[in-house]
Amino acid sequence: MRRRVLSLVAAALAVPATLMTTSTAHAAPADKASVLSSWTQTTPGSQSAWVTARNNRSDWSAYGFDWSTDYCSSSPDNPFGFPFETACARHDFGYRNYKAMGAFGAAKARLDSAFYADLKRVCAGYSGVKEASCDATAWIYYQAVDKLGSVAPSGVTAG
């Protein structure tokens, strides 16, 4: 009985210590699902927040996010010179982490839409024929993930 009480006390003391290791700059929102959701929206602010977090992954280590990526899977990361790799990495992040949480099916359409929005932001940096070419390529990439994006467990296929 005494050992069980000591274990409970040790566990209770470990919770505040764990919470203190999370940077207060990232205090809101505190739970993993909310943070994941905030980083996988279609808005430029969501994309920017994810890029900042990705550049400071150690600040988020307590959340156990899977930051791995194969970028644009078997498609070129920079088709025709258009830099799509960051959009592909954020898309992978969403796919891998929602699959790990068992919530992929409910999030897939939004993740694919966020991917397309990210690609369109890349294309907005061009003009004329180059922008039109980029937009067409972005549409093809979006259609590929929309139609072929996997519902298999994390790490099995492209995301």
Q: d(Cα 110, Cα 142) in Å, to the nearest integer?
A: 12
pLDDT of 7 reads 40
Helix, strand, coil shares of the chain, percent, nearest 5, are 70, 0, 30
Question: For residue 92, what are the CA distances in angstroms to 55, 86, 155?
Answer: 16, 10, 9
Token duo for residue 92: 């992978």
Q: 14: pLDDT confidence band, cut at 50, 70 and 90?
A: very low
91 carries an active-site annotation: yes
Instruction: Share the mean pLDDT of the chain.
Output: 83
Q: Catalytic one among 46, 88, 91, 114?
A: 91
Average pLDDT over residues 101-108: 96
**pLDDT for res 159:** 54
Q: Is the pLDDT of residue 27 over 90?
A: no
Domains and CATH numbers, the chain: 26-148 (1.20.90.10)
- Give the range among 22-36, 67-81, 99-113 with minimum mean pLDDT: 22-36
Q: Read off the pLDDT band of 115 (50, 70, 90).
A: very high
What average pLDDT does this structure show over 60-65? 93
Tokens of 47: 């994309």
**Tokens 């929102």 appear where?**
29
